[in-house]
Amino acid sequence: MNILKNLDALLITNPTNIRYLTGFVGAAPDEREAYVLLTKSQTYLFTNALYQEKAKKLTSLKRLNLLASKGLTFIETSRENPFAKKLAEIMAGCNPAKCLGFEENDLTVAEYQKLKKELIGITLVPTKGRIEELRMIKRKDEIANISAAAKLTDQCFDFILGKIKIGVTETDIAWEIESFIRKNGASLAFSPIVAFGKNSSQPHYLRSVFARGPLAKLQEDLLQTALRSSDIILLDFGAKINGYCSDMTRVVFVGKPKDEWRQAYNTVFDAQHAALEYLHLEGVKAHLPGDVRRSGADADHIARRVIERAGYPTYPHSLGHGVGLAIHEIPRFIARKDRILPKPQPQKDAILLPGMVVTVEPGIYIEGQYGIRIEDLVLIRDNGIEILSVSSKKFTIL
């Protein structure tokens, strides 16, 4: 992929994309601590003196991405020499440089106005998804980090099953998940979803969060129902290792489960199995004559059909999404009427290619009653798939 197509240079402001390209990680991801400029001959990293030592080390490392051959040059910014001014100096040296691309989903209006003022004679061109498309196909080191995060997530699930007792709260279990992951040297990929009973009917349930302590515990007991003797538990969580995420969902039951829960669980299990089987077999077929492509939209359609034929409402989200430095990345795959395109377009049709890491997570949600979701992390290989989430999906009663 030519990321500088129709451009003389490309400005990268998204912190995750900057990390992918250069290895730079700031202390405050929500703040603008670095910029990257890609030209046809060089890669520039702009940051202030706080990160001078780190930035200089990065310039001496051989990067593992596609831009390694260009090298990395550190440019220091300051109050006296702000980024827009330093960028204008670099662009002036790129002769001729008339078109500068920027990430339209990340650059603020205020930043855009500063650049427009400084970059005289240069056209600012909005771009979308150029680095994200590079990130879709994982390198070997990225796959190793994601696999390690998935392994820790599996270990956490085994651990957490021993902490589920009658009377515990959602916050108790979420705290145990976070503690286990952090004690094992990793961080959270996202805030864990722990949903008891009817709360599980909300796909992205947000529990009430309370500070630890006696007074907070009293407040929590008044507002949050403890785990009952016959209940359903949905657990959706993941670890992050070296910046790379994992994602997994499991549902377990306490006491005697309702027949409806069992039937719904088996349906979701069958739906996921059908989608996984399609992804694997289509990968095997890829070695046979003919143009066989694994489509995320087709996988989604297969899973939805199993659920609908069983008489349940279809899930209100896509079947899955990419996972990497961010917990939600492209491709996202969902069956839609306009998915038939003249050629594969990963952001729209979600053609799944070797090296992608994606989730497969069908579900059934009955509003105000219960929800079932089973989610695995899957590596797309050229001859099938590898399921990275190995925690049991058997109907589990604690």
Specify the length of the chain in residues.
398
Burial classification of residue 300, based on how many CB atoms lie within 10 Å of its CB (0-12 exposed, 13-18 middle, 19 or more buried): buried
199 touches 207 (CB < 8 A): yes
- Full residue range of the structural domain in which residue 120 is found: 9-136
Structure tokens at 108: 């603020």
Q: Are residues 240 and 189 in the same domain?
A: yes
Q: Are residues 320 and 181 in the same domain?
A: yes
Query: 57 in a domain, yes or no?
Result: yes
Q: Are residues 295 and 325 in the same domain?
A: yes
371 touches 364 (CB < 8 A): yes
- DSSP conformational letter for 204: T
Query: 393 in a domain, yes or no?
Result: no
77 touches 86 (CB < 8 A): yes
Q: Are residues 96 and 144 in the same domain?
A: no
3-state SS assignment for residue 371:
strand
Q: Are residues 159 and 291 in the same domain?
A: yes
CA-wise closest residue to 304 among 339, 333, 261, 338? 333
Structure tokens at 182: 């952090």
Burial classification of residue 72, based on how many CB atoms lie within 10 Å of its CB (0-12 exposed, 13-18 middle, 19 or more buried): buried
- pLDDT tens, residue order, the chain (398 aa): 688 899 999 999 999 999 999 999 988 877 899 999 999 888 999 999 999 888 888 876 655 454 545 678 899 999 999 999 999 999 988 877 789 999 999 999 999 999 999 999 999 999 999 999 999 999 999 999 999 999 999 999 999 999 999 999 999 999 999 999 999 999 999 999 999 999 999 999 987 655 555 555 555 554 566 899 999 999 999 999 999 999 999 999 999 999 999 999 999 999 999 999 999 987 677 555 445 578 898 999 999 999 999 999 999 999 999 999 999 999 988 866 444 433 444 445 578 889 999 999 999 999 999 999 999 999 999 889 999 999 999 999 99
Q: Are residues 131 and 150 in the same domain?
A: no
Q: Are residues 158 and 221 in the same domain?
A: yes
Query: 397 in a domain, yes or no?
Result: no
Rounded to whole angstroms, how far apart are CA atoms 238 and 153? 6
CATH assignment at residue 240: 3.90.230.10
Instruction: State the DSSP string of 31-80.
Output: S--EEEEEESS-EEEEEEGGGHHHHHHHHTS--SSTTGGG-EEEEEE-SS
Q: What is this structure's pTM? A: 0.90
Q: Are residues 122 and 146 in the same domain?
A: no
Instruction: State the DSSP string of 89-120.
Output: HHHHHSSS--EEEEETTT--HHHHHHHHHHST
Query: 398 in a domain, yes or no?
Result: no
Which of 105, 136, 167 is the last residue in one of the domains?
Answer: 136
CATH assignment at residue 94: 3.40.350.10
Question: Whole-number mean pLDDT of the chain?
Answer: 88
Q: In what order do the strands lie in the sheet with 231-237?
A: 193-196, 231-237, 248-254
Q: Are residues 54 and 114 in the same domain?
A: yes
Query: 53 in a domain, yes or no?
Result: yes
- Work out how many domains the chain is built from and give that number: 2
Confidence (pLDDT) at 217: 54
Structure tokens at 31: 């703040």
